[in-house]
Structure 1
Amino acid sequence: MTPRQARLVRGVAAAVVMLAVAVTMGVRFAAEPSLLTLGLYGVALILSGTAIVLSRLGRTRVATAVLGGGLAVAVLAVLLR
């Protein structure tokens, strides 16, 4: 994979994760409003956005680690329910 392709793949993956987290946050927050829900999903959204920016800057390995962290936060939020 060329560096350009790697940046594109990481950016698209982060955008997909961001969209999934946003939809899940909206559904969960509509069902049961909670500051904890808003906070955990908000952190996951911020980390996904950070991964997109890092991918655009060419830091694909760091972006992958940040995206994994965002996914872990989202999974943790689901498990804490």
Structure 2
Amino acid sequence: MTALGENDATTSAGPGRPTGALTPRQARLVRGVAAAVVMLAVAVTMGVRFAAEPSLLTLGLYGVALILSGTAIVLSRLGRTRVATAVLGGGLAVAVLAVLLR
């Protein structure tokens, strides 16, 4: 008999995996959803800014942010979650810079 109770063996994270860590599937889902939320926010902001003051610069900067967010979604689906996080951060940085450069 071990020191673990009957239910403790099923809730154990197993060797090498800390308790509370995301599984690869959960990590892909979280990053995909985060990229979709960023993409939606950038699209809404782009629409509002473009309606108020149409310019090619506005369209270009927000378009790049949308492309990077879409790329992050695809990378998440392919299992490249760390790369997707970096790309998503880049897309968010582009959107923030576009707002600041207004």
TM-score, normalised by the number of residues in structure 2: 0.79
| Unpaired segments ≥5 residues, structure 1 | none
Which one has the bigger helix percentage? 1
Per the TM alignment, residue 16 of structure 1 is displaced from its structure 2 partner at its CA by 0.1
Per the TM alignment, residue 10 of structure 1 is displaced from its structure 2 partner at its CA by 0.1
Per the TM alignment, residue 62 of structure 1 is displaced from its structure 2 partner at its CA by 0.0
Q: Considering only aligned residues, what root-mean-square deviation do their CA atoms show, in Å?
A: 0.2
Distance in 1 of aligned mates of 2:98 and 2:54: 14
Distance in 2 of aligned mates of 1:36 and 1:79: 13
Q: Which residue of 2 aligns with 1:53?
A: 74
Per the TM alignment, residue 25 of structure 1 is displaced from its structure 2 partner at its CA by 0.0
Distance in 1 of aligned mates of 2:92 and 2:59: 15
| Unpaired segments ≥5 residues, structure 2 | 1-21
Give the fraction of aligned pairs with identical amino acids, expressed as a percent: 99
What stretches of structure 1 move > 3 A for 4+ residues in a row? none
Distance in 2 of aligned mates of 1:75 and 1:35: 17
Larger radius of gyration: 2
Per the TM alignment, residue 20 of structure 1 is displaced from its structure 2 partner at its CA by 0.1
TM-score, normalised by the number of residues in structure 1: 1.00
Q: 2:38 aligns with which of 17, 22, 34?
A: 17
Distance in 2 of aligned mates of 1:9 and 1:80: 30
Q: In the comparison of the two structures, how many residue pairs are matched?
A: 81
